[in-house]
Structure 1
Amino acid sequence: MTRTDPALPAVAHDPAAHRFSLAVDGHQAVLDYLPRDGAMVITHTGVPEAIGGRGIAAQLTRAALAHARQAGIKVVPECSYAAAFMQRHGEYADLLG
Structure 2
Amino acid sequence: MTTDKTGAPTEVAAEHDRFTISVDGRIAGFTEFVDHDGQRIFPHTVVDEEFSGRGLATILVREALESTRASGLRIVPVCSMVAGFIEKNPEFNDIVDPITTDVKRVLSRR
Find out whether 1:12 has 2:13 as its counterpart: yes
The residue number in structure 1 matching 2:31 is 31
- For the pair shown, the structure with the greater C-alpha radius of gyration is 2
Give the aligned length: 94
- The TM-score with structure 1 as length reference comes to 0.86
Gapped runs of 5+ residues in structure 1? none
1:23 offset after TM fit, Å? 2.3
* Aligned residue identity for 1:24: V
**Contact 1:27 1:51 (8 Å CA) reproduced:** no
**Contact 1:4 1:55 (8 Å CA) reproduced:** no
**Within 2, Cα distance between the matches of 1:65 and 1:75?**
8
Identity of aligned residues (%): 36
* Aligned residue identity for 2:23: V
The residue number in structure 1 matching 2:108 is none
CA RMSD of aligned residues (A): 1.8
Of the two structures, which has the highest relative contact order with CA contacts closer than 8 Å and spacing of 6 or more? 1
The 3-state SS of whatever aligns with 1:94 is: helix
The 3-state SS of whatever aligns with 2:10 is: coil
Find out whether 1:66 has 2:66 as its counterpart: yes
1:94 offset after TM fit, Å? 1.2
- The TM-score with structure 2 as length reference comes to 0.76
1:27 offset after TM fit, Å? 4.8
The residue number in structure 2 matching 1:40 is 40
